[in-house]
Structure 1
Amino acid sequence: MASVSASHLILFIASVLVAASVAGTITNTVGRLSDGVSDQGDALSQDVRTDVEIISDSGAQIYNRSDNQNVTLLMKNTGSRVLPANGDQMVILLDGVLQSPLEVTVIEGQDPDSWRPGDVVRVEFGAPDLDAGDHRIKVTVNGDEEVFRFNV
């Protein structure tokens, strides 16, 4: 009878040790998963708070307005996040070709270095020898994408 109780005691201690090690591993994994989800949620929150609109009139002349072969876009920050007014967080594709450098100027706002919610900026970039016809501009700012079509 004593040998049965000793074997049961050994099995009980072994199962408690296995359960404790499994619980420790699961707790560590859940903690890392929770941290990852939290980080991803923070990044997504920043993206959701970023919203811009291209307010240029597609019927107006946006190309070569000053005989300098530049494209000029007016954009408004309609999100709730303050963006830098330097083009660092902005990617512009003209007919699928990356455009740089970008000249960003706050034209309706209080701070020339910050693109605050409600502020309007003028974005200019060179596009020498742009062919006549239809063109497409895709602007991406912190994950927010806008498409603008115009005709030269």
Structure 2
Amino acid sequence: MASVSASHLILFIASMMIAASVAGVFTDSIGQLSGAISEQGFDVSSDVRTDVEVISDSGSDAIYNDTTGNITLYIKNTGTERLAADPGVLDVLVDGQFVTDYTVTRADGDGAWRPGTVVRLDIQQPLTLGTDHRVQLTVNGDEEVFEFRT
């Protein structure tokens, strides 16, 4: 009779040790999952609050300077997210080609791109005259397309 109690005690202790180790693994995994979900929620929130609009007139002669090969666009921050007015914020494609030679400056000279303010985007990209062109801008997941004719 004592041998049965001893074997039950050993099995009970072993099952408690296994349950404790499994609970420790689950607690750590759930903590990591919770952190990842919080981080993703912050990123999605930033994407939702970001909205920009190209306010340049597509029929204007001021869009493309054929002497310098420079495209000039004015972009307004219409969202609620404060953005940095630097080239690292924008992804620019001209006629489907990724462009890295561009500058971003605040139209009024201040550094930050706050909601309601406008930046000037100057893109160095020679274009064929007399044809249609397309500039695609991506900021925090928000995509804007601007079409014009040179």
Same fold (TM over 0.5): yes
Q: Give the Å deviation of 1:97.
A: 1.5
How far, CA to CA, are the matches of 1:68 and 1:35 in structure 2?
Answer: 49
User: What residue is the counterpart of 1:27 in the other structure?
Assistant: 27
Helix, strand or coil for the counterpart of 1:112? coil
Helix, strand or coil for the counterpart of 1:76? strand
User: What residue is the counterpart of 2:117 in the other structure?
Assistant: 119
Q: Give the Å deviation of 1:46.
A: 2.0
Comparing 42-51 and 10-19, the one that deviates more: 42-51
How far, CA to CA, are the matches of 1:84 and 1:7 in structure 2?
Answer: 68
Gaps of 5+ in 1: none
1:4 aligns with 2:27: no
User: What residue is the counterpart of 1:37 in the other structure?
Assistant: 37
Q: Give the Å deviation of 1:52.
A: 0.8
What is the 5 A alignment of 1:125-136? 125-136=123-134
Q: Deviations over 1:78-137 (max 9, x none)?
A: 111221222221111101122232222322x5x621111000112111222434211111
Report the CA distance shift for 1:95/1:53 in structure 2 as closer, same or farther (over 3 A): same
Q: Percent identity?
A: 53
Q: Give the Å deviation of 1:71.
A: 0.8
How far, CA to CA, are the matches of 1:35 and 1:116 in structure 2?
Answer: 29
Please say if residues 85 and 112 of structure 1, whose CA atoms lie closer than 8 Å, have aligned partners that are also in contact.
no
TM-score if structure 2 supplies the norm length? Answer: 0.88
- Report the RMSD for the aligned CA atoms in angstroms: 1.8
Gaps of 5+ in 2: none
User: What residue is the counterpart of 2:141 in the other structure?
Assistant: 143
